[in-house]
Amino acid sequence: MTQPQTGTITTQVPSRLDRLPWSRFHWRVVLGLGGVWILDGLEVTMVGNVAARLTEDGSGLDISTAQIGVAGAIYIVGACLGALFFGQLTDRLGRKKLFLWTLVLYLVATVATAFSFSPWFFFLCRFLTGAGIGGEYAAINSAIDELIPAKVRGRVDLVINGSYWLGSAAGSALALVLLSTAFFPIDLGWRLAFGFGAVLGLVVLLVRRHVPESPRWLFIHGHEDEAERIVRGIEESIEDEKGVELPPAEQSLTVRQRTAIPFREIAKVAFKTYPKRSLLCLALFVGQAFLYNGITFNLGLLLTSFYGIGEALAPLFIIFWALSNFAGPVILGHFFDSVGRKPMIMLAYLGSALVTLPLAWVFLSETGGLTAFMILLVVTFFLASSGASAAYLTASEIFPMETRALAIAFFYAVGTAVGGIAGPLLFGNLIATGERMPVAVGFLIAAVVMAVGGLAELFFGVKAEGEQLEDIAAPLTAEEADEEGGGDSAGGSSDHGDRGPGPAQERT
């Protein structure tokens, strides 16, 4: 990367990227950057499936059931801290450096997990694996939204985030084979399970090397020549692929370049300039983290304890459930771009909350048995999975570009720390009672938490569908350029009618 030359510039890079038709370049972005969610789903599900095996005599790891729970908590702590640490580095050093570094950290840590010889080493590996995955969230979501055209940004983001459940299904399917002592010794199968995650991560790394740095990040940080080179290369490849000449870009943006932005200024943006948007993101992240972590971490135990499903068959039900979760963003994703963010996020959160009510009743009364319970569970999470993915999309879209990665990291970390820890603890304790009534109450609490997210979207949601990111939240550097007379009003050029909010305004 060339040395930055800072000054006030006018650029059409955002408009040029958003006008592009879908192409092989965009597929490369999806495949290279979206693989992290599959890895996360694989990791979380794999540990849940191998937990019982790790505690058995002869597993090669002298670890107790209680320590397995500690390992899960350590993974979450690592993910939260990793998101915060790498999130601020992503905004300072660039998207590409961090989405390469964090994936390498994941690869090293998950391979090391396969060679665990004692609980303390297993804990350390789980912490580092979580840190890598947490760091990925910020780097990946910010890069994806800055490279994908505005007209399809919603559906692409939702499908990529929803691919977590493909990893979850794959983790359960692998467990059926790798944990079978008919195929592998008791001390080998679980190690191979972690090794498989590393193989998948290595493939993703090879593809990811060819994904460029975000041109949006480059021009703000003084690398406008490199941003121009990357965008021109993308345009030329698409023109060759499609056999057509791209139309000219229509909008311009004037910014005052800076190599770094102080953390205090970033925090000021979230809590002073955009307080309503911050409350919205907190409600969305806490709601989805509570529901998903609470039920996901305990679904196998719930099926075995209350429906008599054997441990060997439980992964089959989890596979079916995971695939239904992936179907939600795939089927509903395009409506987030056509119908709009606000109505669809409200549908996802409030709809899943409403379906949870008959789910709790069916579970409590045992009406319809396992079939009725699974049908309602699938419908609940078909809706909720789109909402969970939309939480990441929302945090990535509605804050200025200079704060994007850290915003994702912050709201993910807080949401996971609050909902992601409280949910599993609550449901685990309720299931341990062996009584249906307490568990049904747990479902109702989850419904209330999700409903709060839906109501927050109703009052604070931002209409971001089809909008250029710089119009949804003007870059901090654009605002400064305007104050110093270096360009047009914050958010775009004077030939664009809806130029987005100024520094103290929120468009809802």
Per-residue HEC secondary structure of 374-443 comes to HHHHHHHHHHHHHHHHHHHHHHHHCCCHHHHHHHHHHHHHHHHHHHHHHHHHHHHHHHHCCCHHHHHHHH
Closest CA to 269 of 11, 13, 7, 506: 506
Helix (H, G, I), strand (E, B) or coil at 8: strand
pLDDT at 175 over 70: yes
Higher local confidence (pLDDT), 468 or 88: 468
pLDDT tens per residue across span 434-484? 888 988 998 899 999 999 999 999 999 999 998 988 889 888 777 554 444
What is the 8-class DSSP label of residue 245? P
- Per-residue confidence at 331, pLDDT binned at 50, 70, 90? very high
Quote the pLDDT of residue 3.
53
Token pair listed for 426: 């609550």
**With contact defined as beta carbons under 8 Å apart, do 471 and 230 qualify?**
no
pLDDT tens per residue across span 350-364? 999 999 999 999 999
Quote the pLDDT of residue 298.
72
Task: Compute the average pLDDT of residues 31-43.
Answer: 76
C-alpha 188/C-alpha 193 separation (Å) is 9
Domain residue spans of the chain: 8-472
Q: At what angle do helices 24-54 and 189-208 cross, to 10 degrees?
A: 160
pLDDT tens per residue across span 124-159? 988 998 888 888 877 778 888 888 999 999 999 899
Quote the pLDDT of residue 183.
79
pLDDT at 494 over 80: no
Percent of the chain past pLDDT 70, that is, above it, reads 86
Higher local confidence (pLDDT), 25 or 180: 25
pLDDT tens per residue across span 266-319? 677 777 888 999 999 999 999 888 887 777 767 777 887 788 876 667 778 888
Percent of the chain past pLDDT 90, that is, above it, reads 27
Higher local confidence (pLDDT), 252 or 315: 252
Quote the pLDDT of residue 262.
66
Quote the pLDDT of residue 260.
64
Quote the pLDDT of residue 505.
36
Quote the pLDDT of residue 4.
58
C-alpha 449/C-alpha 446 separation (Å) is 5
Radius of gyration for the chain, computed over Cα atoms and rounded to the nearest angstrom:
23
pTM of the model: 0.82
pLDDT at 169 over 90: no
pLDDT tens per residue across span 199-227? 877 887 787 778 888 898 888 888 888 99
Quote the pLDDT of residue 270.
72
Quote the pLDDT of residue 481.
41
C-alpha 202/C-alpha 212 separation (Å) is 18
pLDDT at 263 over 70: no
pLDDT tens per residue across span 374-431? 999 999 999 999 998 999 899 989 988 888 888 888 888 888 878 777 777 777 778 7
Q: Which helix (H) or strand (E) holds 69?
A: helix 65-93
Helix (H, G, I), strand (E, B) or coil at 163: coil
Single-letter amino acid code for the residue at 143: A
**With contact defined as beta carbons under 8 Å apart, do 158 and 31 qualify?**
no
Closest CA to 386 of 332, 335, 460: 332
Looking at CATH, the fold of the domain delimited by 8-472 is given as Growth Hormone; Chain: A; (1.20.1250)
Closest CA to 17 of 205, 157, 152: 152
C-alpha 76/C-alpha 446 separation (Å) is 20
Quote the pLDDT of residue 166.
86
Tokens 């996802």: give the residue.
Answer: 348
Closest CA to 145 of 504, 469, 479: 469
Quote the pLDDT of residue 327.
93
